[in-house]
Amino acid sequence: MPQFKREDEEKNLAERMDAELAAAKPIESPDQMTPLYRESLINLLYMQADSELAGALGYVPCVSMSPLVEEYLASSMIVKDEFRHARVVYKLLENLGEDVEAHVRQYDYTYRIDHAVENIGSQRAADDKRVNIFYYPIESWVDFCMFNFCMDRGAGHQLEDSLEASYKPWARVLEGIFKEEKFHIAHGDNWVKRLAQDPQTHDAAQASLNKWFIRTMNIFGRPNSPKNKIYREIGLKKRDNHAVRLAFAQEVADRCKENGLKLPEWKPDWENLPWDAYVVG
């Protein structure tokens, strides 16, 4: 390769990276975005919106599982929150020029894998962009409460990682969503404590934890992911996937210790590492 051509390519690459890093500054409108920034943002927004919609539809049957009258209201509020979260994030996508209605019509957000399938790891089960935990069915009230305890907590850690996102319309939306997710987490914490400390329901709580903790650990993505690195460089996320995962796992471990539950072992399906490499105190 001629020397001048190589120098031009290196200069172009440097200029491109400067542009991408500059995109980490606060952004209010699409005309401020580089193509890579826009692509990355749209991908994250669809992942969140599809997850919120699939989550809401998965929660709907849980309302009728409610054991108490007051829980009909609490579980209905959680369903309402998730539908609202989906709508406000889809609205952000519409403001970016995306045809959200066409996107949503392509997929069945009520789709769940067979009850007999225990674990799909980090794999996807369909072509929508939901986090893969939303392909599992919630089968009981204990499952619903443990889902709040694990997955809503995991989602909270992910949301927290983008609360100061460089795309300010998203950051403002996330602030409200994050507050409501705290209610969902508190609902799970309250019920898991009740279920775990009752001898009649302790074993059911442990069995449900064994499912949902492992499934939630798979949602965060692989360590040192190239996409996650881009998200951090342009200011859409703050931490590596695995750092978020470990923060979540430590918090769950602390709650389990308080409630007499045993944290199950989790091993990633993308590398053959011993559990000791991931264990939390």
In a domain, residue 168? The reply is yes
- Averages of pLDDT over runs of 10 residues in the chain (281 residues) are 58 61 78 92 98 97 95 96 98 98 97 83 89 95 97 96 95 95 96 97 98 95 92 94 95 96 89 45 34
Count how many Cα atoms sit within 13 Å of the Cα of residue 241 in the half-sphere of its side chain: 17
- For residues 80 and 3, give the distance between their C-alpha atoms in angstroms, rounded to a whole number: 61
In a domain, residue 125? The reply is yes
In a domain, residue 54? The reply is yes
Domain that holds residue 176: 34-277
Which residues face 27 on adjacent strands? 167
Phi-psi region of 260 (alpha: psi -120 to 50; beta: other; left: phi over 0): left
Predicted local distance difference test score (pLDDT) of residue 96: 97
In a domain, residue 22? The reply is no
Residue 102, domain CATH: 1.20.1260.10
Burial label for 145, CB within 10 Å (0-12, 13-18, 19+), is buried
| Overall domain count for the chain | 1
Predicted local distance difference test score (pLDDT) of residue 183: 95
In a domain, residue 164? The reply is yes
Q: Which amino acid, 32?
A: Q
Residues 6+ apart with CB under 8 A from 237: 161, 162, 165, 228, 231
Which whole-number Å values give the CA distances from 205 to 82, 99, 154, 170, 213, in the listed order?
24, 42, 18, 36, 12
Residue 150 and residue 212 in contact, taking contact as beta carbons nearer than 8 Å: yes
Residue whose token pair is 């091993």: 267
Q: Which amino acid, 205?
A: A
- For residues 2 and 7, give the distance between their C-alpha atoms in angstroms, rounded to a whole number: 9
Q: Which amino acid, 159?
A: L
- SS3 breakdown of the chain: % helix, strand, coil, rounded to 5? 65, 0, 35
Predicted local distance difference test score (pLDDT) of residue 276: 41
CA nearest to 181, candidates 214, 212, 148, 209:
148
Sequence-ordered strand ranges (E) for 128-202? none
Predicted local distance difference test score (pLDDT) of residue 118: 75
In a domain, residue 26? The reply is no
In a domain, residue 23? The reply is no
- For residues 8 and 5, give the distance between their C-alpha atoms in angstroms, rounded to a whole number: 5
In a domain, residue 28? The reply is no
Predicted local distance difference test score (pLDDT) of residue 125: 87
- For residues 30 and 77, give the distance between their C-alpha atoms in angstroms, rounded to a whole number: 33
